[in-house]
Every structure is written in structure tokens, then in C-alpha cells.
């Protein structure tokens, strides 16, 4: 998506060897016009979607942005911590390892919000190793819901996320793909 790519080049910056910071328009402060354009972009890529599924926290805004372009379908986000007031028997849970942060989180969705017959589009801000998306796919599988595809704002093309998802037969679309970083500069595909 042209506007996103231009914005990454203008305002994105690289930390260390493999982290792209986009906190002025995606991860901390959000450009809501760009968010809306991303919603429109992804809604044209996937048909037959009746639910958006994402993971807290950064996925939430983009999940809402995409949902609005499907005529206001629900957006569900997997939670990283279990609320004390929910009954664990009513949850689908899975473990998501974070390659970037070196952490592991149990994430969950209430069974009321993911049902057999749902046609889910998974949305996230970044695709790196694909662990978050694979966890969300597992939650859909447990619920008997179908995964229509995975929609990603920024894919790090030099990591294994796309390969792992496509191996599972998942249709992946990214609005921008980072090919590599060169002397602190972002080189997009």
C-alpha cells in the first residue's frame, strides 16, 4: 500500500539489527486516516469474512479499522491475561511465544465470541516469526471456526512468518513488506 510504504520510509526507524520502530503512526500514536485506508485495503483482499480476530494490544486498533470496512462485523481480540472473574472452562487458550521479546504468553478468547461457522480474518500489526498468528489460528481450530486469511500491516520478509503460515495453507496479505535493513535504513520490497 503506497501511503503506508511512504510513511515507513519517512517516519520509521531501525533499532539494532531487526526491529522497525513505527511508534509515531502505528504502535503508540496511531494515524487514524492511514488506519482507515488499511481497513479498506484489506477488505478488498478477502471475501466472505464475518469476524475479525486479533491479539492485544497493537492489533486492536487495526482490527477495528478492518472490521468497519466489512459493514461493521464484530472484532474479537485474544487477551494475554485471564480475568479473575471468568470461568476457565469458558475459554479457548493457547500459548504464544514471542521471538522478539523472548517471552511466552497464554492467550485466550471467551467461547461465546468464537463459534463453529465463523469465517475469521486474522489481523495484526507485525508479522515476524508468525507465532501470534499461529496462536490465533489454533484458537479458531479449537472453536471450529474457519480462517479466511491473515492480514498484516507490516511483514518482516526476512523472518519465517509467511513461510510458516503458507505451509498451513493460509492466505497471507501484507500492506508493506520489509526486505531488509541496510545501515539503519529500511529497504521495502
Euclidean distance between CA atoms 132 and 31, whole angstroms: 23
Residues that bind ligand G4P (CB under 6 A): 19-22, 27, 55, 57-59, 98-101, 125-132, 156, 161
Cβ proximity to ligand G4P: between 9 and 115 the closer is 9
* Residue 48 CB neighbours (<10 A): 9
Shortest distance in whole angstroms from residue 181 CB to ligand G4P: 9
Q: Considering the complex, what minimum distance in angstroms separates the CB of residue 132 from ligand G4P?
A: 3
Query: To the nearest whole angstrom, how small is the minimum distance from the Cβ of residue 117 to ligand G4P?
Result: 27
Give Dmax (Cα) for the chain. Answer: 50
Nearer to ligand G4P, 80 or 119 (CB): 80
CB closer to ligand G4P, 49 vs 55? 55
CB nearer ligand G4P, residue 94 or residue 131: 131
Q: How far apart are CA 21 and CA 6, in angstroms?
A: 15
**E strands of the chain, at which residues?**
13-15, 19-21, 51-55, 75-78, 91-98, 103-110, 119-127, 146-156, 172-182, 185-188
Select 21 or 115, whichever has its Cβ closest to ligand G4P: 21
Counting DSSP H helices and E strands in the chain, the numbers are: 5, 10
Cα–Cα distance list, 151 to 7, 15, 162 (Å)? 19, 24, 11
Q: Residue 96 Cβ, how far from ligand G4P at the closest point, in Å?
A: 7
**Least separation in angstroms between CB 23 and ligand G4P:** 7
Amino acid at each position: 500500500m503506497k501511503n503506508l510504504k511512504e510513511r515507513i520510509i519517512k517516519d520509521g526507524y531501525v533499532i539494532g539489527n531487526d526491529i522497525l520502530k513505527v511508534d509515531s503512526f502505528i504502535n503508540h500514536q496511531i494515524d487514524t486516516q492511514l488506519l482507515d485506508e488499511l481497513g479498506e485495503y484489506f477488505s478488498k483482499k478477502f471475501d466472505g469474512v464475518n469476524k475479525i480476530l486479533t491479539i492485544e494490544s497493537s492489533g486492536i486498533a487495526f482490527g477495528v479499522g478492518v472490521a468497519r470496512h466489512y459493514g461493521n462485523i464484530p472484532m474479537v481480540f485474544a487477551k494475554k491475561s485471564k480475568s479473575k472473574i471468568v470461568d476457565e472452562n469458558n475459554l479457548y487458550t493457547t500459548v504464544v511465544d514471542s521471538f522478539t521479546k523472548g517471552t511466552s504468553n497464554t492467550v485466550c478468547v471467551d467461547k461465546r465470541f468464537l463459534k463453529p461457522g465463523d469465517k475469521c480474518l486474522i489481523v495484526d500489526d507485525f508479522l515476524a516469526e508468525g507465532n501470534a498468528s499461529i496462536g490465533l489460528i489454533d484458537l479458531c481450530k479449537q472453536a471450529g471456526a474457519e480462517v479466511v486469511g491473515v492480514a498484516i500491516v507490516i511483514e518482516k520478509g526476512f523472518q519465517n512468518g509467511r513461510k510458516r503460515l503458507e505451509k498451513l495453507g493460509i492466505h497471507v496479505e501484507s500492506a508493506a513488506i520489509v526486505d531488509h535493513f541496510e545501515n539503519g535504513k529500511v529497504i521495502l520490497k
